[in-house]
Chain A
């Protein structure tokens, strides 16, 4: 069923279709319409879920962690400082191997206060062991929520579905709302390996020693390092599982394709712009303009940021003359996080092969600074003429 709605509603519809049954909600701009919509569904009886209006974001994720540990399919959403406040819990959920799905409506972090869009919030969480998916439009938002529950429950790793605040959360676009039966076909009910119960008592996530130790059955149990390694290992194998999920999704819903990357005019491109989220669609306009000038340029959206699809990215960019990474976040004191990760992947696979592209990093839209398509065109054109600088260049700075 095709409707025209905003990105937050797209996310809420995805959560409803997935029959999430414990929802924790704490308000923060620009996520609030999402959790408000969920409260409407719950109060109207359209969702059979417990809706818990918690007193903080830290508690929101605590509710989800506990609910999931007891066998519920839980959901929460947040932005910016809310995500930062729950950081301890973000780390916890990953180590506890819980299949949580959380929407992060990307917003700039304080200090100083800023409610507008950039991606510093979710990017700052990249090392936590959560899978991160970035959406470029509303169809991707609703589809990603559904895919995320499937993937999370398959690999027991929590997933952040990220989309740009205001630019996607509050704008209206047409998109297809999948049929409930199809979603039910794609996503079976949650069957955890273990759920807290008096019949099968266990003590979860207590202090775990540096070394291995014999358990009550006389078997050698992991130390902390093994448990953490298994999280990393399964994150890496989840790349393949995500591809399997993408195929299943395409078979049932008739759309989808590449699980990791969203390329546009990249096949014969000599220069490829790369980004996360809605900026990649804005870059398509710049690409179209430069193509008319005869510059062979394309743009590639990265759908999965963690686990990083290093092999796929290196393969897609092999032999290109230049890669121009546009980011709405950075690792302060160095450069854009995506640029670093991408350079690392290119180096690993292509160093010494003669096919290693030059990488240029642009930082844009920090704190919601308007990204002018004209600026994208100019910077992209300049980058195709040669490396602009080793350091990232901030677009639209008015110093």
Chain B
């Protein structure tokens, strides 16, 4: 079954996530959020969100608490470095078992 009936004749891409595949597999460390240090979590109000601003991969949500999409998080560590209260730490990916590979 080939591409003879494909709807386009040219290189014409429509948008969607994961062009690079499951980029979460690139990680050697993953960000872990300590809610007790996280400013919007503590105040239960919209505040800070520096991690959301600086994430290159749009995987941190602007929510209380911020949530990290581990399917795509590459583990760059910018969020951990920029967090003003050090609420995010980068933890060796190997410390997470196969079961919770994609859980926090």
- Chain B residues 1 to 49 lying within 8 A of chain A, measured CB to CB, are 1-3, 6-16
CB of B3 to closest CB in A, whole Å: 5
CB of B63 to closest CB in A, whole Å: 25
Contact of A230 among B1, B9, B14, B15 (CB under 8 A): B9
When A216-B16, A221-B6, A222-B6 are in contact, do A227 and B1 touch as well, CB less than 8 Å? no
Flag if B13 contacts A156 (CB, 8 Å). no
In the assembled complex, the Cα of A212 lies from the Cα of B8 at a distance in Å of 13
Tally of B interface residues using CB under 8 Å: 14
Flag if A194 contacts B12 (CB, 8 Å). yes
- Chain A residues 72 to 127 lying within 8 A of chain B, measured CB to CB, are 95-97
Flag if B13 contacts A220 (CB, 8 Å). no
Mask: chain A, 220-259; 1 = CB below 8 Å from B; 0 = not: 1111101100100010000000000000000000000000
- A contact residues around B3 at 8 Å (CB): 212, 220-223, 226
- Chain B residues 55 to 73 lying within 8 A of chain A, measured CB to CB, are none
In the assembled complex, the Cα of A52 lies from the Cα of B8 at a distance in Å of 30
In the assembled complex, the Cα of A230 lies from the Cα of B2 at a distance in Å of 13
- B-side binding surface: helix, strand, loop or mixed? loop
- A contact residues around B2 at 8 Å (CB): 212, 220, 226
When A220-B3, A222-B3 are in contact, do A215 and B11 touch as well, CB less than 8 Å? no
- B contact residues around A353 at 8 Å (CB): none
CB of B18 to closest CB in A, whole Å: 9
Flag if B1 contacts A96 (CB, 8 Å). no
Flag if B14 contacts A204 (CB, 8 Å). no
Tally of A interface residues using CB under 8 Å: 26
- B contact residues around A156 at 8 Å (CB): 9
When A212-B3, A226-B3 are in contact, do A202 and B9 touch as well, CB less than 8 Å? no
CB of B20 to closest CB in A, whole Å: 12
Mask: chain A, 128-166; 1 = CB below 8 Å from B; 0 = not: 000000000000000000000000000010000000000
CB of A211 to closest CB in B, whole Å: 11
Flag if B10 contacts A206 (CB, 8 Å). no
In the assembled complex, the Cα of A205 lies from the Cα of B12 at a distance in Å of 6
In the assembled complex, the Cα of A204 lies from the Cα of B12 at a distance in Å of 5
Flag if A220 contacts B11 (CB, 8 Å). no
Flag if B8 contacts A221 (CB, 8 Å). yes
Assess whether A199 is interfacial by the CB under 8 Å rule: no
Assess whether A292 is interfacial by the CB under 8 Å rule: no
Flag if A208 contacts B9 (CB, 8 Å). no
Flag if A216 contacts B14 (CB, 8 Å). yes
- B contact residues around A221 at 8 Å (CB): 3, 6, 8
Assess whether A293 is interfacial by the CB under 8 Å rule: no
- A contact residues around B1 at 8 Å (CB): 220
Mask: chain A, 165-204; 1 = CB below 8 Å from B; 0 = not: 0000000000000000000000000000010000001111
- A contact residues around B8 at 8 Å (CB): 221-222
Flag if A205 contacts B11 (CB, 8 Å). yes
Which residue numbers of A lie inside 8 Å of B, CB to CB?
A: 95-97, 156, 194, 201-206, 208, 212, 215-217, 219-224, 226-227, 230, 234
**Which 7 pairs show the lowest CB-CB distances between chains A and B?**
A216-B16, A203-B13, A208-B11, A222-B3, A205-B11, A97-B10, A216-B14
* Listed A/B pairs (21) with beta-carbon separation below 8 Å: A97-B10, A201-B14, A202-B12, A202-B13, A203-B14, A204-B11, A204-B13, A205-B11, A206-B11, A206-B13, A208-B11, A215-B13, A215-B14, A219-B7, A220-B1, A220-B6, A221-B6, A221-B8, A226-B2, A226-B3, A234-B9
Further contacts, 20 of them, CB under 8 A, given A201-B15, A219-B6: A95-B10, A95-B11, A202-B13, A202-B14, A203-B12, A203-B13, A203-B14, A204-B11, A204-B12, A204-B13, A205-B10, A206-B13, A220-B6, A221-B3, A221-B6, A222-B3, A222-B6, A222-B8, A226-B2, A227-B9
